[in-house]
């Protein structure tokens, strides 16, 4: 299949997917699977391999996301039932005031996302977001978008998250410069995409906390006799973050073949770190504050009830992304962009944005775009700051236009309890403003390099 035909096929597949979900109201899980199979047929994936590609795409996403979402749901439920989430909400509202909450959430998301995966933070911080929305009596998106913008910026632009680190490695960029420019680009991006756009869009899409997360103490659910202290709650919340950050630091600065480093790497893996956090929350927040073992088991079981739909839809999004990746669209884009004569930093942004639209995964888009740009950057004799600027520009491009082939799209869609159309307006719009602003900022700074 020619490059043009392949690119047109990708555009058509995305258009059909939008039609099935938003116009024909076909369930997203079924629509994603159906579109994936049809696209696989069109791009020429052998009939005998299509089912294997579907299984690989589903398994590749769910191997991580299903575990993280399940553990995060348990963690969030114990925070809610024991009153811990409400305690944090009360403290933040009192400390910052309702008017400054979006700013504090944007900053919080940016800081804690630097060492932690997007999916992990999403499931960890959702209970806090719900409690703040209830406490401050504001539309959900007014607080959700600043938080999500901060998390997205930290994840996409600032090492040691995987995308920027991988791109820096491919381009030979200095991580210190990448961190500095990534933070510089993140600040205006979070303000515009999170705080400003969140305030604007919450007036057009005025939704509250999803019904299945509402307090249900009246139906006989387990409750604690006393609420844990704010310091204790923060300590429990910090455990997985510290463990993951410790693993990142150890791997960066210590020999990886030493046993202590391997142990730190194990307990700092997001899955293991969350298991430890859940067990601590069960004991410290639950059993020590009035919940018995049977009640904790009930809390854990109830937390998993709404997880199935999130997991299935997210997995189906992974299937669509896998089909597009197997189609060779990455190679086609590399061939096309290599022939275009535009400034290298602009080309870096465009390459990552096209990869993001086509493949879904921001990390995959970042790495692929870096590979496209690397040969051109190598022959251009660029300074260390300019190489770092290219990494941040790629991160910005790999953030924009998140849509139905991105697992993050569906996680946000389900956790916020909004429709697919509302998700496109709120989440996709926020991501596009975020990535574009970050790129514009680093492009402006690059004139001094």
Q: Does residue 352 or residue 288 have the better pLDDT? A: 352
The CA distances from residue 279 to 81, 254, 410, 444, in Å, are: 15, 29, 28, 47
Confidence (pLDDT) at 435: 95
Rounded to the nearest integer, the mean pLDDT of the chain is 78
Confidence (pLDDT) at 289: 66
CB count in 10 Å sphere of residue 261: 16
Q: Could you report the per-residue pLDDT of 167-188, keeping only the tens digit for each?
A: 887 788 877 788 889 989 999 9
Confidence (pLDDT) at 220: 42
Domain containing 78 equals 62-159+223-307
Give percent above pLDDT 70 in the chain: 78
Confidence (pLDDT) at 219: 42
Q: Could you report the per-residue pLDDT of 298-342, keeping only the tens digit for each?
A: 877 777 766 666 667 667 766 776 776 677 765 666 566 556 667
Residue at 175 is within a domain: no
Residue at 229 is within a domain: yes
Confidence (pLDDT) at 216: 46
Q: Does residue 15 or residue 433 have the better pLDDT? A: 433
Lowest mean pLDDT across 17-21, 45-49, 267-271, 428-432:
17-21
Where is 276: in which H helix or E strand?
A: helix 270-280
Lowest mean pLDDT across 64-68, 255-259, 418-422:
64-68
Q: Does residue 288 or residue 436 have the better pLDDT? A: 436
Where is 416: in which H helix or E strand?
A: helix 407-416
Task: Return d(Cα 67, Cα 38) in angstroms, integer.
Answer: 29
Q: Does residue 380 or residue 55 have the better pLDDT? A: 55
Contacts (Cβ under 8 Å, ≥6 apart) of 175: 159, 160, 165, 168
**160 upstream amide cis, omega within 30 of 0:** yes
Confidence (pLDDT) at 431: 94
Residue at 54 is within a domain: no
Residue at 7 is within a domain: no
- The number of domains in the chain is 1
Secondary structure (DSSP) of 91-111: HHHHHH-GGGHHHHHHHHHHH
Q: What is the mean pLDDT of residues 191-215?
A: 82
Q: Could you report the per-residue pLDDT of 95-124, keeping only the tens digit for each?
A: 777 778 888 888 877 876 665 567 766 777
Residue at 210 is within a domain: no
Buried b (16+ CB within 10 A) or exposed e, 412-431: bbbbbbbebebbbbbbbbbb
Where is 113: in which H helix or E strand?
A: helix 101-113
CB count in 10 Å sphere of residue 225: 8
Residue at 337 is within a domain: no
Cα dihedral: 249, 254, 256, 258 (round 10)? -120
Task: Return d(Cα 373, Cα 370) in angstroms, integer.
Answer: 5
| Cut 0.75: pTM above it | no
Q: What is the mean pLDDT of residues 63-74?
A: 72
Q: What confidence tier does 83 reach under pLDDT thresholds 50, 70, 90?
A: confident
Can you count the helices (H) and strands (E) in the chain? 22, 0
Q: What confidence tier does 444 reach under pLDDT thresholds 50, 70, 90?
A: very high
Residue 3: is its pLDDT beyond 80?
A: no
Confidence (pLDDT) at 390: 93
Residue 313 zone, left/alpha/beta (φ > 0; ψ -120 to 50; rest): alpha
Task: Return d(Cα 11, Cα 403) in angstroms, integer.
Answer: 12
Q: Could you report the per-residue pLDDT of 214-272, keeping only the tens digit for each?
A: 544 444 444 444 677 778 877 887 787 788 767 767 876 778 778 888 888 888 887 88
Q: What confidence tier does 212 reach under pLDDT thresholds 50, 70, 90?
A: low
Confidence (pLDDT) at 221: 42
């Amino acid at each position: 299949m020619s490059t043009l035909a392949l690119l047109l096929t990708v555009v058509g597949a995305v258009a059909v997917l939008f039609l099935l979900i938003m116009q024909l109201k076909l369930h997203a899980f079924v629509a994603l699977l159906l579109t994936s199979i049809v696209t696989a047929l069109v791009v020429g994936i052998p009939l005998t391999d299509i089912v294997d590609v579907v299984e690989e795409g589903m398994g590749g996403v769910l191997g991580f996301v299903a575990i993280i979402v399940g553990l995060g749901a348990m963690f969030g439920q114990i925070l809610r039932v024991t009153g811990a989430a409400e305690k944090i909400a009360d403290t933040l509202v009192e400390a910052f005031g309702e008017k400054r909450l979006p700013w504090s959430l944007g900053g919080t998301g940016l800081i804690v996302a630097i060492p932690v995966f997007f999916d992990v933070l999403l499931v960890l911080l959702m209970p806090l977001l719900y409690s703040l929305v209830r406490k401050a009596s504001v539309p959900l998106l007014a607080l959700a978008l600043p938080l999500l913008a901060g998390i997205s910026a930290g994840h996409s632009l600032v090492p040691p998250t995987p995308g920027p680190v991988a791109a820096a490695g491919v381009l030979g960029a200095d991580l210190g410069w990448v961190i500095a420019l990534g933070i510089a680009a993140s600040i205006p991006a979070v303000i515009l995409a999170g705080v400003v756009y969140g305030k604007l869009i919450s007036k057009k899409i005025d939704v509250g906390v999803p019904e299945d997360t509402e307090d249900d103490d009246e139906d006989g659910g387990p409750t604690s006799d006393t609420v844990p202290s704010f310091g204790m709650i923060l300590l429990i919340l910090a455990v997985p973050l510290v463990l993951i950050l410790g693993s990142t630091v150890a791997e960066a600065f210590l020999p990886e073949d030493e046993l202590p480093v391997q142990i730190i790497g194990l307990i700092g893996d997001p899955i293991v770190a969350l298991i430890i956090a859940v067990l601590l929350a069960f004991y410290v927040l639950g059993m020590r504050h009035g919940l018995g073992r049977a009640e904790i088991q009930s809390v854990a079981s109830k937390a998993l009830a709404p997880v199935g739909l999130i997991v299935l839809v997210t997995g189906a999004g992974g299937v669509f992304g896998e089909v597009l990746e197997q189609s060779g669209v990455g190679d086609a884009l590399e061939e096309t962009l290599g022939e275009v004569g535009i400034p290298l930093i602009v080309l870096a942004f465009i390459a990552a944005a096209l990869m993001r639209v086509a493949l879904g995964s921001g990390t995959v888009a970042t790495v692929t775009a870096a590979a496209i740009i690397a040969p051109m950057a190598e022959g251009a004799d660029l300074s260390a700051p300019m190489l770092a600027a290219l990494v941040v520009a790629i991160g910005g491009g790999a953030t924009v236009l998140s849509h139905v082939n991105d697992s993050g799209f569906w996680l946000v869609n389900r956790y916020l309890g909004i429709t697919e159309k509302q998700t496109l307006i709120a989440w996709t719009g926020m991501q596009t403003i975020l990535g574009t602003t970050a790129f514009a900022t680093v492009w402006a700074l690059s004139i001094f390099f």
